[in-house]
Structure 1
Amino acid sequence: MFKAFVLPLLLLCSARLACAGANCGYQTCNLGDENSLNVHLVPHTHDDVGWLKTVDQYYYGANQKIVQAGVQYILDSVVSQLLLDPNRRFIYVEMAFFARWWLEQSDHVKSQVKMLVDEGRLEFILGGWCMNDEAATHYNAIIDQMTLGMTFLNRTFGPCARPRVAWQIDPFGHSREQASLFAQMGFDGLFFGRLDFEDKQLREKELKMEEIWRGSESLDSPNADLFTGVNENGYGPPSGFCFDTYCADEPIMDDNSLEEFNVKDKVNFFVDAARRQAKHFKTNHIMMTMGSDFQYENAIMWFKNLDKLIKYVNAAKKNVTVFYSTPSCYLYALNQADKEWTVKTDDFFPYAERPHSFWTGYFTSRPGLKAYTRESNKFLQVCNQVEASSYFKNHQNTLSRTSAALKAAMGVAQHHDAVSGTSKQHVANDYAKRLYIGRESCKSVISEVISGSASQLTFCDYLNVTLCNYTQNMQQFTVIAYNPIGREISRYLRIPVDGSASFDVVDMATGNSVASELVPVTEATTSVRRNRGNAASELLFLATEPALGYQQYKVTKRSVSTNFLKKNPISKTKGDITISNEFYKVVFDGNSGLMKTVVNSASQIETMISQQLLWYNASLGNSASNQQSGAYVFRPNSTNPFHISADGKAEVKLVQSDNPLVQEVYQKFSDWAYQVVRLYKGKKFVEVEWTVGPIPVDDKWGKEIISRYDTPMVTNGYVYTDANGREVLERKYNYRPTWNLNQSEPVAGNYYPVNSRIYIKDSKYQLTVLTDRSQGGASLKNGSLELMVHRRLLGEDGKGVGEPLNETGQFGDGLIVRGKHWLLLDTITSSQRQHRLLAEEIFMSPLVAFQNVTSDTNTMGSGSWLVAPLPDNVHLLTLATTPDGVLIRLEHQFTKSDDAELSKPVTVSLKNLFKNFQPTSVEELWLGANAKKDDVTRLQWKLSERTKRENRVYNFERPYYDVTNDFQTSLGDNFDVTLQPMQIRTFLMK
């Protein structure tokens, strides 16, 4: 069992000013010799928060049969070596490990470590709970895990520990939104290790290994812009200079009386390596990363040899100056060099390390874990909100349980080998277990606040497969639907029941009856749950929930149903099948059973849309390359996917009923691939629920399953995908904005991460598909888009995980995954508004719980924590308590170009926002909530003259690219907050 860390928020003195007795920050940096090549040696360790071993195993050094790695020993060893020599430096990154180690230390050790931090000898870089993935992570979870780690640092060490540089050395591709978030957290720069090999070759040639990365098209420059550098050697040392237990390189042997004396050779090799590297960079400063995965367990080996390397290279007088440094000091040296820098506006996806090796499979790998992580984020936000509502009433935290365990579990789950799906199976199981433990704690919190008892509410975790014994066996029960969004929403709930009787549903706030109907359980559902339940149907009704609050409905079983039988699916063998509501009509071909036409009745748009489930066969290597498909790499063995059924058709059935709330078509592609296509009354989308698995592998081929939508739209190779759930980037088939692509994999090389939505458009219309989890997506031909929903592989891609991505599931024959896509077909203008709001509703869908109906139930029919709903373009991103007050983040969730009205700036008052809480003071913080906005000023950078001409969006009245906050920071008496498009603002309210 892991420990849950309670991390309060403490805002201390300015992070750019020295605290009493401290001499930290840029003023401690060695900037070398302006007349020589300066080599910044950066001792570091890269400690994965789970990968080949679990977090606990990595920390303690357990399970040595897999790999020798023990983080506790690394930190013990490094601290002892730093104390021996004031010139030595070290950086540390992952707070999930460091926070645990810190709790185990004596007061004496803690005081020594604080001294090292204050003197800049031990420096924290990045500072998140983990080094998060950038493809499969949602921006909400990224912000939370960064806040968790940086808050721990602030509480423990004060502003000297505030990270100034982001350090994403291992993630497999890099998101533009990640750069935007880092900039808004107050970072001065970012360094990473992995980028496409062709991209790197061109950057080395053109001296563009370092430049300004513009992270947003909506946020006015320079608020989302970040100086970004690519590490020459990924994150390892140059060849021949690895000095660790795991290394094979020779140590520096400096006794010239011995035959093995090698100082001269080592110096010459190092100087040559430094000069080769320097040819790719603009200044006379370069950085060398001296460390790697789980190194420095015996830190004396590294430091003893680095001491000698520094001594002998500097003594050789070869116009190369070597010294201990950190990424922030290297960044500061670049800043002081006063060079001009170019600007990058796209991203670093997809990542290929060589031809035929595109790391695009992990966009989909372990789709069950991806969905569980996404849903757990919603659980955490609800848990934070109800904790805050309790604080509003009592002005103190009085709950018996807290959200701390789920915060820590979610922090770990964002790691680049966690939600990415690239860990070993036993580690993936551990990630899920941690999330489960945290969710169980939060269930108690939610129950205690809403019902008055930590055990009063019942939560059914398998509603998506119609499994809930509580509702199936009760004659009468209450449904509580909690809405974590700051505006009222209406959403259909589906509750498992036995189906032998009719039901009455009553809104407990108004006493009014609510229309409902019974929908039979599908064959797909029975295939998923197998022997774990036998509910025959689902009770369907529309729940309307207040902004940031809950609504309760009483459900009562009545008599035997008289109309249930005629709602059973009826096979259709002749003619087309049509379902419709007020907004959409969907037509299925009577012969093939496939979707063929979608009509938007409101916008009078009709187009052919053929949708089906298909599969690529996973490569096991061929004459072009021995590269296989695996957890990281997607490499199909052909460019054309295969039909799941032999004839390319689907068995199709239609659910019929009088005046239904929902119309459904059931599609069966095989015994392991199903779909339900739904139209709900009053809803402006088409819902496609897919159920895939167990994927058969008896033919010895791994299979990668896609859902493909084909239209006659003229899209000219363009497709649009979101970045971490926020802004959208334009993609083009077989094209990269910054270099001439030599495409080796026409399928995998055109896949991109899809976190919440993907769309194609022509001159008039737009087809948008929204997802319930991160997936890989592409447009491989005109008018087509596809999303990979599941993959099961027998090969292994050789990227380190050491086992095939062959999830066998609970029953041992293969994992079954169920998910949903939501289709929008509309004008381009209307689509932008709709997909923003619908994406918010999907991501923060209602949390449903149940309880008995008794005379002493002390709950109201409904409740909201807000005095009034928020505007549609404002999203309440964070509402959480800290020991110092209430932390709140408000987000403008529209871009500058999304909507004529909703893209305008919007003002919200914090004065009368929450019930029972009137702030007496409000402080604006950086996005990571670890420093006041006024206490941190970011570094300034010059732009090249060519960049100025090509990027007229920048304000060039100032001679420097002034990286300061241009937005409003002062609040009036009403604590009015004005949000610009895509802006997130963070506040501590007391």
Structure 2
Amino acid sequence: MKVPSTRTEKNLRGFAFFLIQMTLAVLLFLLFCVLSAGGKPVVDDDPVCGYDACPEAGLDTLNVHLIPHSHDDVGWLKTPDQYYFQDVQLVISSVVDALKQNPDRKFVQVETAFFKQWWAQQNDRVKEAVQNLVNNGQFEFINAAWSMNDEGAVHYQSTIDQFTLGLRYIQDNFGKCARPKVAWQIDPFGHSREQASISAQMGFDGLFFARLDYRDKNRRLNDKTMDLLWRGSANLGNASDIFTSVLYSHYSAPGGFCFDIVCNDEVIIDDEESPDYNLERRVDDFANYIRGVVEHYPTNNVLITMGDDFRYEAAMTTYMNLDLLIKGFEKFEQTYNDQRIKVFYSSPSCYTKAVNDYVTTNNYNLELKTDDFFPYADGSNTYWTGYFTSRAASKHFERQSNTLLQVAKQLAVDVQESYDNAAINSLKEIMGVMQHHDAITGTEKQHVANNYHFLLSKAVKNVNDEAGQILSTLISGTDENFEFDSCLTANVSACSQTQGDKFTVVVYNPLSHKVTAPISLPSYDKTNWHILDPDDNTVDYQIENSLIDFSYVDDAQTSKTTIQFSAKDVPAMGFKVYRVEANALQHKVKKPPNPRVLVGYDDTSFEISEETGLLQAVTMNGVRLEITQDFQYYSSQDSSGAYIFVPVYDQISRIANGPISTTLVTGSVSQGVLQDFGSWGKQFIKVYNDDRSFIEFDWIIGPLDISDGVGKEVISKFTTSLATNGEFYTDSNGRELLKRTRNSRPDYDYSDEQPVSGNYYPVNNRIVIRDASQDIELAIITDRSEGGASINDGEIELMVHRACQHDDGRGVGENLNEQEYGTGNRIRGKHFLVVGPTSGNGEKSLAAIERDVAQRKSVQAWSFVTSKDVSGSLNTLQFSGLRSDVPDNVNILTLEPWDDGTVLLRLEHTLEKGEDENMSQEVTVDVSELFTLFTITELQETTLGANMLLEENVRLQWPGSAIDDKVSPTKRDVADLAITLAPMQIRTFWAKVTYT
């Protein structure tokens, strides 16, 4: 051993030893930090994400994109919370741990409602780890809406809102790397063209789904058109084009290759010394499966889903097997048509980019689709068209809640409320859940439906209180709270606020043009009232008997009568206050004459048959049309259930036996006839004096009698002699109309083995028939989503209620037969009839009139009622959020708080090309002096989902659809406050505001 010769040498060696010890300590500390943080001590400063993080997909190899995913329903067989605490929190936690073990592994996360719930429970170390996984492309958000929304029974406004909510949450917490690039709609039961258009406007490059008609799928498999280009709008052109891919075999893992703990498939063993060694054989099996798949796709890329419902609760079990499978393909080379099969972890975004690279390099045009994927049938007699109507009351409650949400958001802007308003955000979130494809569809178990209604009712109550306080402040000019209530039970003639001798009604109009709204409230047998409008003018009213006796509603005090009046010209995005007081003076009621045939007014009226009691003709917009309307029902076959509509199509019956009784009801507000169809239903047909643009059908149907063991599916049928040549039109999520041809499909040979349900389509707000020879058009407008059809020329039918005896075998495990108050459900709703020449009334085309009515009935004026005396403290009795009117073809779709000093603003053009000679043109709105309480000083245009500036949105271009070169959209001058809209265009802005 060498001995140090001097003290200096000893000191140097000691110092070196000290440095080594310190270095080791620092390294150990850093290692501890790495392990504690789950990967890296700090978030990457220069992340590689998006398409840059995609694995290399060669142009000369067969690229197999493995997609690890978990489809997590936000309620179905369990409530959302039950699913989260029993399944989803385990899925996400397990996946995050597994991804950290191998940087090649990937996972796609979809439902933001669940992710937010999980994220709130994590500590900073886990959050840091997830941020890194996002930044390196391993943990990828796709779709990223609050839920995976249905596409048949949803309104476009609610779809946009729930995407906006989810996208903002992801953007706020993860930044640019988390922006989704594709839509992932793998489970909805049919697919709408408007959903494709919305996806394109969100900035998505791709759209993926699994369910389409079995004949359409077979044709696409044979023609290698499972990858296609979908044009989402007939008005927006190729700007609405989006790459679309149909999954090969649902969204499950291939047979024999499910490695989740709930599966029993053979695991992969790569130990050659083991008697159970099977790596090479399993690679061969998987390669053979791939060779079968690639035969049906147009490029050298195939997408293989490795997941299913609530998979990856123990993620390592799947990832370890997939690791071995990928290595097996590297070790045992497999080929297809002389191309090496290359298997790797990927994502739908990376698949989209790889297909784009291939078609661009080869100048290959994908098939272009311009209609939609409705209706969906998975077999020769099983059409998923029942859910268009299932749980009709739930569908209406959701539509009402959307209206209240828009009202609350607008009021929040008026008083400078922040984006973080807890009550409004709570309603946004449950509304996002309600768009889910097992919520708004009515295809969930009954206890889950009850849970949805509980959550929605709670959120509505809180937002009602919030909006009521804001209204109180605006009306009084103080902090006084008038305790306004929305009287949601007024449809069953119950409202505690109107039981006394005095109450106040505030009618709020959330639309961008003034409206005249009919108001109907329980009057509790009082017949004499005095109503004053904001200008102290006396308002006409009339007293009517309630549609039925609602005394069976045992948790609310119901009334046998209602008071009805018209709130005239309620200002745009504003309100009017009406003061109502019982009056000792006798109210003079005009006695109706002896029963007469003609009901209504000179320009708008209808005729009732004295023989049958049914409608026999209508007159409107200068046209008299003979038309009958009746309630009928189909008897259900055993396979009819929550999803599927299978009627005994040649057995359609009336719900009434013989002629129906009628009662003429007239007054200064409306003229109408009350029809009694027996124990199953009643209906009030009426025309309003102050709004003659439609004829209203206010009906109540139920309970349905299925005591004979046979399900019943009730329709409202309108029958005319119009020559419609097998054609009719339905809206797409409340936006563009699509032509339907009976017993025909544009993309594949259609067999009409089910002539009724096979011709049913979703009607979100309008169904139309036209007679070109007479130039007459008839539209029926709905107050919620329903299934509709034209089974015979000149007819329209809308399904309004259904009760089924059997489950349809599609997973829910229950028959659809809702019960309330010890009996089957009663469903109350309204239809609105518009008829006339296509040219309209001389001012607007009939299409423009229909759209105006549909808009007013989809987002209706909202009534707030209080029994408190407001007369002592009045600041204003009427208010408009707009200084000036916007053009008739423009609507402010969204106004809500966004950031400090910023609001989110969306404007939409409400007409299609060619619908109106004057209004189906580009239109410009100057918003610089548009709003009453604030001034917009700057505008930054964003994508439809408001998660990025429009100039940052550079979408992939496709041969046959490329607009120009791959250039960024033109950056907008923030000082430019003029917004130009083309037909059907929606534009979205972050608007910087200052309050006056």
Give the TM-score normalised by the residue count of structure 2: 0.90
1:129-140 alignment runs, 5 A limit: 129-140=146-157
Report what 1:437 is aligned to: 458
Closer/same/farther in 2, CA of residues 651 and 252 from structure 1, 3 Å limit: same
C-alpha deviation, 1:583, in angstroms: 2.2
- Structure 1, unmatched stretches of 5+, are 1-17, 62-69, 621-627, 944-953
Shift in Å at residue 565 of structure 1? 9.3
Q: d(CA) in 2 for partners of 1:239 and 1:829?
A: 58
What is residue 712 of structure 2 aligned with on the other side? 703
**Alpha-carbon displacement from aligned partner over 1:847-904 (angstroms, at most 9, x marks no partner):** 1012323453344110112111221111111000022410010001111111111111
The structure-2 alpha-carbon separation of the partners of 1:988 and 1:367, relative to structure 1 and needing over 3 Å to count, comes to: same
The 1-side partners of 2:949 and 2:282 are apart by 47
Does the alignment pair 1:645 with 2:656? yes
Deviation at 1:478, TM superposition (A): 1.6
Aligned to 1:771: 782
Paired residue total: 924
Structure 1 pair 248–582 and aligned structure 2 pair: CA distance change class (3 A): farther
**2:75 match:** 50
Partner amino acid, structure 1, of 2:766: R
Write the letter of the residue equivalent to 1:323. Answer: F
1:708-766 CA distances to partner (integer Å, 9 max, x unpaired)?
01100000110100000000000011000011112221111000000000010111101
Aligned residue number for residue 556 of structure 1? 581
C-alpha separation in 2, matches of 1:180 and 1:773: 22
Match of 1:845 in 2: 860
Structure 1 residue 697: Cα displacement: 1.1
Name the counterpart of 1:13.
none
Counterpart of 1:987 in structure 2 is 989
Per-residue CA distance 1:625-666 (angstroms, 9 max, x = gap): xxx00000000023341111233x322221245xx3211111
Look up the SS of the partner of 2:409 in the other structure.
helix
- CA positional deviation for 1:677: 0.5
Q: Which moved more, 1:754-763 or 1:23-32?
A: 23-32
Q: Corresponding residue for 1:970? A: 972
1:454-473 aligned at under 5 Å gives the runs 456-473=483-500
1:72-97 superposed Cα distances (whole Å, 9 cap, x missing partner) = 00011000000000011110100000
Match of 1:816 among 823, 826, 833: 826
On the 8 A contact 2:760/2:787 being kept in 1, the answer is yes
Quick one: which of 63, 67, 73 aligns to 1:38?
A: 63
Tell me, yes or no, if the aligned pair for 1:401 and 1:444 is still in contact at 8 Å. no
CA distance in 1, matches of 2:411, 2:549: 33
Q: Who is 2:10 aligned against?
A: none
CA displacement at 1:486 relative to structure 2: 1.0
CA distance in 1, matches of 2:631, 2:560: 27
Indicate conservation of the 8 Å contact 2:187/2:209, yes or no.
yes
* Structure with greater contact order relative to length (CA < 8 Å, sep ≥ 6): 1
Matched, 1:787 2:837: no
Render the CA deviation track for 1:436-481: whole Å, top value 9, x for unaligned: 11111111221111103456223211122221132132x2222100
Task: Work out the CA distance in 2 between the residues paired with 1:257 and 1:226.
Answer: 50
Give the drift of 1:980. 0.7
Residues 1:238 and 2:254 aligned together: yes
Residue 629 of structure 1: aligned partner: 640
| Separation (CA, whole Å) in 1 of partners of 2:206 and 2:290 | 22
Asked whether the equivalents of residues 314 and 320 of structure 1 are also in contact (C-alpha less than 8 Å), the reply is no
Q: CA deviation at 1:528?
A: 6.8
Matches of 2:707 and 2:520 in 1, distance apart?
Answer: 36
CA distance in 1, matches of 2:487, 2:680: 25
1:615 paired residue number: 633
What is the Cα deviation at residue 580 of structure 1? 1.7
1:677 pairs with 674, 681, 685, which one?
Answer: 685
Query: Secondary structure of 2:662's partner?
Result: strand
Map 1:916-955 to 2 at 5 A.
916-943=933-960
Aligned to 1:4: none
CA contact (8 A) 2:384 2:645 kept: yes
Distance 1:152 1:562, change over 3 A: closer
Q: Percent identical across equivalent pairs?
A: 40
Q: Per the alignment, in what secondary structure is the counterpart of residue 982 of structure 1?
A: coil
Partner Cα separation in structure 1 for residue 648 and residue 367 of structure 2: 39
CA drift of 1:341 comes to: 1.5
Secondary structure, in 3 states, of the residue corresponding to 1:766?
strand
Q: Structure 2 CA distance, aligned partners of 1:463 and 1:963?
A: 55
1:834 aligns with 2:859: no
Partner of 1:802: 813
Deviates more, 1:442-451 or 1:759-768: 442-451
Q: Report SS of the residue matched to 1:131.
A: coil
The offset of 1:187, in angstroms, is: 0.4
Residues 865 and 969 of structure 1: is their aligned pair in 2 closer, same or farther, counting only changes over 3 Å?
Answer: farther
1:973 & 1:989 partners in 2: Cα distance?
10
Secondary structure of 2:934's counterpart equals coil
- Per the TM alignment, residue 258 of structure 1 is displaced from its structure 2 partner at its CA by 3.4
1:497 aligns with 2:523: yes
Q: 1:299 aligns with which of 301, 308, 315?
A: 315
Q: How does 1:512-591 map to 2 (within 5 A)?
A: 512-522=537-547, 524-526=548-550, 529=553, 532-544=556-568, 545-559=570-584, 561=586, 563=588, 566=591, 577-591=597-611
Equivalent residue for 2:36? none
Unaligned runs of 5+ in 2: 1-42, 335-339, 474-479, 841-845
* TM-fit CA distance, 1:539: 1.8
SS at match of 1:921: strand
Aligned to 1:662: 670
Q: Secondary structure at the match of 2:458?
A: helix
Distance, in Å, in 1 between the alignment partners of 2:513 and 2:140 is 43
Alpha carbons 2:937, 2:975 under 8 Å: kept: no
User: What CA deviation, in whole Å up to 9, does each residue of 1:393-434 have, x standing for no partner?
Assistant: xxx639985401100010100000000110001111111111
Amino acid at match of 1:478: T
Q: 1:866 aligns with which of 879, 882, 890?
A: 882
The alignment yields a C-alpha RMSD, in angstroms, of 1.9
Distance change >3 Å, CA 431–CA 713, structure 1 → 2 = same
Question: 1:578 offset after TM fit, Å?
Answer: 2.3
Q: CA-to-partner distance for each residue in 1:752-791, whole Å, 9 max, x for gaps?
A: 0000000101111011000000000001011111000000
SS at match of 1:837: helix
Q: Which runs of 4+ in 1 moved over 3 A?
A: 256-259, 396-402, 525-534, 560-567, 962-965, 971-974
Q: 2:941, 2:949 within 8 Å by CA — same for their partners in 1?
A: yes
Matched to 1:535, the amino acid is S
Distance 1:916 1:974 in 2: 20
CA distance in 1, matches of 2:676, 2:65: 61
Residue of 430, 450, 461 corresponding to 1:409: 430
Q: Does 1:688 align with 2:697?
A: yes
Is structure 2 residue 395 aligned with structure 1 residue 370? yes
2-side partners of 1:430 and 1:347: how far apart?
32
The whole-number CA distance in structure 2 between the counterparts of 1:761 and 1:963 is 43
Using the TM superposition, give the Cα deviation of residue 538 of structure 1 relative to its aligned residue in structure 2, in angstroms.
1.9
Q: How does 1:280-359 map to 2 (within 5 A)?
A: 280-318=296-334, 319-337=340-358, 338=360, 339-359=364-384
Supply the distance in 2 between the matched residues of 1:730 and 1:490 (Cα, whole angstroms). 31
The amino acid across from 1:849 in the alignment is F
Matched, 1:881 2:897: yes
CA contact (8 A) 1:940 1:963 kept: no
Shift of 1:527: 6.8
Tell me which amino acid in the other structure corresponds to 1:589.
Answer: S
**Quick one: which of 131, 137, 153 aligns to 2:170?**
153
The answer as to whether partners of 2:660 and 2:677 remain within 8 angstroms in 1 is yes
Q: Within 5 Å, give how 1:892-907 maps onto structure 2.
A: 892-907=909-924
Aligned to 1:208: 225
Task: State the match for 1:89 in structure 2.
Answer: 106
Deviation at 1:963, TM superposition (A): 9.2
Deviation at 1:585, TM superposition (A): 2.0
Query: Residues 551 and 558 of structure 2 are in contact (CA less than 8 Å); yes or no, is this contact kept in structure 1?
Result: no
TM-aligned CA deviation for residue 255 of structure 1: 2.8
